[in-house]
A and B are shown apart, each in its own frame.
Chain A
């Protein structure tokens, strides 16, 4: 799916034994996800299922799990989330965050209490980055490349941003078929990345209406920058903002 994934596991400082093998498994998982879910690979389960040449029952069972989750997000968002963003079957809008969330869970299962996994700017943070040091995630300013709009901070949270600036990832409003243009970028913060990332995609497609929608979601907050440079945030977002 064309994404660089970076791992940060500060609590493994000084621990060489075993961590390499764990990372090897996580890396294998990500490659497996790519091979199975990439819509750009002719032989992936997603491509074959999309063409109708492979029945769901014959696909990796994870595809059914992903489809069920996509259907939930789609229903919850009034159809602003779709598995057919460009007309053909492509559940990447859910798969990327889901795969990264799973990768973080694998690190947790292997004994890491503090880590972050970043897949192309969609980030799952677990624990703190160190004793008394919450994770700090910058939110890029979509209108001033190279600058940050703000910094969010906390422990055990996920961050995903959708925007027009992400190269090759223009989000289409499923109801109009046109690229969503109501916002320059929208960031969602939540507990787990799979849903957080999918909500960010749906909310971005909604445009300004996303504010009320995210406000209605329990456990999720949003921050957005409009094409004119104005910003808004949902009522609970302030808790995530770093003071400096």
Chain B
């Protein structure tokens, strides 16, 4: 795989080096590494809200109602706040939709973050792709868990 992500300890992250989606062959093998006590892109035994998801594996499902679209499920990223899992819908090597399958809901704060931050992250993801940039400097709303799971989906799907 061409892109590799490393989660060192897991709270702040730059959203977007992940988001230059180009239609060429991924190359560098995935070398995801778990940081001590932090998030990681490694698989997890956490249950998922998607029946298509096998932790640590990727499945693509083609929906006959939306021809040409492929759904890719990222690995569960374990963050210090809880598991995060992202799903992408891809068409012609472009992300057309990002969904959060799993996010921390242990506290009111977690829920507030989920309601506030994830829509921002999703909007950033799509904006960066449309701008055809290889990376973004100064991305405002960031989440290592979101990125780790999104990255794993991108690595396997684009």
Contacts and interface: CB of A to CB of B under 8 A. Distances in A.
Interface stretch (B29-37, B44-52, B54-62, B94-102): B29-37
A2 B137 CA distance: 16
Given A138-B135, A145-B120, A160-B137, A120 B12 contact: yes
A165 B139 CA distance: 8
Interface stretch (A7-15, A54-62, A79-87, A211-219): A7-15
Name the residue among B3, B31, B135, B144 with the largest chain A CB count within 10 angstroms.
B135
Interface stretch (A26-34, A66-74, A230-238): A26-34
Given A137-B133, A138-B131, A145-B124, A121 B16 contact: yes
B134 A3 contact: no
Contacts of B15: 121
Contacts of A90: none
Contacts, number: 195
B8 A1 contact: yes
B136 A7 contact: no
A138 B16 contact: yes
A121 B28 contact: no
Nearest to B146: A4
By size class, the interface of chain A is: 35 or more
Q: Is the interface of B mostly helix, strand, loop or mixed?
A: loop
B112 interface: no
Interface stretch (B17-25, B64-72, B83-91): B17-25
B103 interface: no
Nearest to A160: B137
A148 B140 CA distance: 11
A208 B60 CA distance: 51
Interface of B: 2-18, 20, 24-25, 27-29, 31, 33, 35, 38, 120, 123-124, 127-128, 131-142, 144, 147-148, 151
14 contacts: A1-B8, A1-B9, A7-B28, A9-B27, A20-B29, A31-B33, A116-B17, A118-B135, A137-B134, A145-B120, A159-B137, A166-B12, A166-B138, A166-B140
Given A118-B16, A121-B14, A121-B142, 7 more contacts: A9-B28, A13-B24, A34-B35, A136-B133, A148-B131, A159-B135, A166-B140
